[in-house]
Amino acid sequence: MRFAEASAVWQVDEETWKAEVQPGWDIFGVSNGGYLMSIAARAMSEASDGRLPVSVNAQFIRPVSAGPVEVSVGTVKVGKSFSTLRATLSSDLDSLVLLGSFASPGSLRDDVTYMTGEPPDTPSPDQCVRALPGVDAPLPPPLMDKFEERIHPEDASALEGRPTGVARVRGWFRFLDDEPLDPFGLLLAADAFPPAVFNANLPLAWTPTIEMTTHIRATPATEWLNCSFNTRFVTGGFLEEDGEIWDEEGRLVALSRQLALAPR
């Protein structure tokens, strides 16, 4: 099933949308957070007459499994170019609470006026390690067969239980079957890689996300995304993960940050 179909929503009334969380878009039964954000963002986009996500923040209240969900959307403000909306994604109980800024499609500009960063120095996709669901091991998770992800060879050993000691994961991302990338796909890509902390010399364990924010800077113009995710601080039982997503033309298309519980 293509991503656009797996994250589709349909309207029930002025404030309510339905969706079907698909099996397989998960990490061992718990639906991927970026995937859930993309479902809610589609409802928020429709509620704002087709405006596209610029910034989406999600507070994760409880896990979601495959099955029907409801997205309730409220409008906070409608401006000439931008709208602010809030949403709640629920299964039996409220599971995600979101706040987002959405812009008219023509508002996303391609010009660059200042930049000190650059895309990660990642080998070509065919020189990287394909992440596929594990057969005799827990990693990578089932989600990995829904898209193509190729991890930098220097960072891929974490999937085999051999962390590098540097909490970093770099690699390439694209959809299958030539499905184009759009702002909703970027919400998924920002949460689709193994946690960077898996490469730290810490126990390999579940790192549930508490909060995540993704900023959309541009619509990708290329098939592949060049991604980099880093964790610098694991303190007080929490960790942060910062992400950069670039297209093949060297354009920054998205930034992300999430707060998660440290491995236990």
| Confidence band for 136, pLDDT divided at 50, 70 and 90 | low
Do 87 and 136 touch, CB atoms closer than 8 A?
no
pTM above 0.85, yes or no: yes
User: Which residues belong to CATH 2.40.160.210 in the chain?
Assistant: 1-105, 120-264
CATH code of the domain made up of 1-105: 2.40.160.210
What count of other Cβ atoms lies within 10 Å of the Cβ of residue 82? 16
> pLDDT digits over 169-190, tens only?
999 999 999 999 999 999 999 9
Select from 197, 147, 155, 180 the least CA-distant residue to 253. 180
Domain 120-264 classification at class level: mainly beta
| Confidence band for 206, pLDDT divided at 50, 70 and 90 | confident
The backbone torsions φ and ψ at residue 40, rounded to the nearest 5 degrees and listed phi first, read -65, -40
